[in-house]
Structure 1
Amino acid sequence: MDGIHRTEVDGLQATWQLNQRHEIGIMCVHNTSEATQVASFEPGDYPDLVQARERLPKLAKLWDAVRHDFWTEVIPAHCRSRAFETRE
């Protein structure tokens, strides 16, 4: 579960990692269509998702996608399918 993850929405890519306490740390954001860096953070000072939203609120769609990817990573697929089945 630890490791580097990438989430992309509308030409913006967030690179983030999960620490051992299952917390998100945003490492950087790139504009993939222009190959430019939008934001970069120093190791040890990676903002969590709430802080990233506060610092870069215009990227709300990207932060929503990161949150979705985070929950997809944290909750195993078999648990997600069981939760869906109980709602039907």
Structure 2
Amino acid sequence: MNDAVNERVREVIADIPRASHRNDGRQAIWRVEGHSIRVVALRSAFDTSATAPFRSAHPPDLADMRQRFPELSLLWDAIRHEYRRRFLPS
């Protein structure tokens, strides 16, 4: 990516440190690290006490989550779409 795109990504990340998506009865809390989407928690959209946080310094990226939970493909697609909409120029 060029420097202008990298700068824009850094500006947007500073404004929006985390985002959340709900789909298929699940909610994923995610953030951007560099050029990677990291999922920091996955929980039921109906029962917020049922949360699976990823406590490591480097939570799993979106590709890892697609492999672990392929049945949530609509959720992962929504996150990828939002990432592209916010961080990549048209």
Bin of the TM-score, shorter chain as denominator length:
0.7 to 0.9
1:55-84 deviations in whole A, cap 9, x for unaligned?
1222111111111111111125xx3xxxxx
Aligned partner of 2:62 in structure 1 is 49
Please identify the structure whose Cα radius of gyration is greater.
1
Q: Gaps (5+ residues) in structure 1?
A: 80-88
Is this contact kept in 2: 1:7–1:69, CA < 8 A? no
1:5-36 deviations in whole A, cap 9, x for unaligned?
111113311100012x2211110111121222
The one of 32, 35, 42 aligned to 1:29: 42
Matched, 1:15 2:29: yes
Structure 1 segments of 4 or more deviating over 2 A? none
State the alpha-carbon separation in 1 of the partners of residues 18 and 26 from structure 2: 16
Q: Count how many residue pairs are aligned between Structure 1 and Structure 2.
A: 75
SS at match of 1:46: coil
SS at match of 1:18: strand
State the alpha-carbon separation in 2 of the partners of residues 15 and 70 from structure 1: 13
Cα RMSD (Å) of the superposition?
A: 1.5
SS at match of 2:18: strand
Q: Gaps (5+ residues) in structure 2?
A: 1-11
Identical aligned residues as a percent = 31
Is this contact kept in 2: 1:9–1:62, CA < 8 A? yes
